Amino acid sequence: MKICIFMPTTIIIDTSSKLSKQNMLEINEKRLKQYQNGIKKVLDLNKKHNFDIYIADNGYNFNGKIQIPEGINIIMNNPNKYGKFNKGAGIHEIWNNNIDIISKYNYIIHFEPRQELIDNSFIDNFIQNPRTLFTYGQNNNHFNTGLFAIKSNELISYLQYNHSNVMVQKCLSLEYILFNYYINNNIKYDVIDKMNLKWYDAYTQKTYIM
């Protein structure tokens, strides 16, 4: 069974973008530190698993701004046409740009490393029993998408029916449309209580444990 950790990033943001002007994005100085810590922690916790690990960045060239540990594959040619308006649409763009990589694996562990893992309980739970695995957001009507594990063929099928431009036009959230896709298509998935990570909310400037 082939498994990878796939980490979409925007390490250096466009400060003139709509999301940045709405204070929906963390400023570059702080996000650099958050990314550095988040990437190091996920790598340290998962050396035992010997995963392939990818960073797929859709921001500006971050060379020299942040130290990426050895053993991580970096993909820099990712588009960001829609991600400047809708974060989830930006992740869609990155996934679509890397379908060839995603399709090489049975499962993708999706992790957004501006967060920082407290421990490896979510990933270890998945490894003990590989399956599509999520946590619910508030009110149990959407998924948390900062960390989840998914069958690669399910992710690819999902992308065929949900498009970045529609997300922007209709102001759709990735957390809700991914959840609705699984519910509406009766696709089996499992849920555990928490991701057990630190999430930094750029808008409120608060840190939450999730």
The CATH number of the domain holding residue 98 is 3.90.550.10
Number of structural domains in the chain = 1
Q: Is a pLDDT exceeding 70 seen at residue 21?
A: no
Across residues 79-105, what is the average pLDDT? 96
Cα(69)–Cα(89) distance, integer angstroms: 28
Q: Which amino acid is at 207?
A: T
When pLDDT is averaged across residues 87-96 and rounded to a whole number, the result is: 96
Whole-structure pTM value: 0.95
Residue 164 vs residues 13, 82, 102, 106, 176: alpha-carbon distances, Å = 19, 6, 18, 24, 14
* pLDDT, tens only, 120-152: 999 999 999 999 999 999 999 999 999 999 999
User: Is it the case that residue 81 has pLDDT exceeding 70?
Assistant: yes
Domain extent for 125: 3-209
Which strands form 147-151's sheet, in the order they lie side by side? 72-75, 52-57, 3-9, 107-111, 147-151, 133-134, 190-191
The token pair at 14 is 């466009």
Q: What is the mean pLDDT of residues 25-31?
A: 79
Within 8 A by CB and 6+ apart from 132, the residues are: 148, 149, 150, 151, 154, 187, 188, 189, 190
Decide if 93 contacts 164 (C-beta within 8 A).
yes
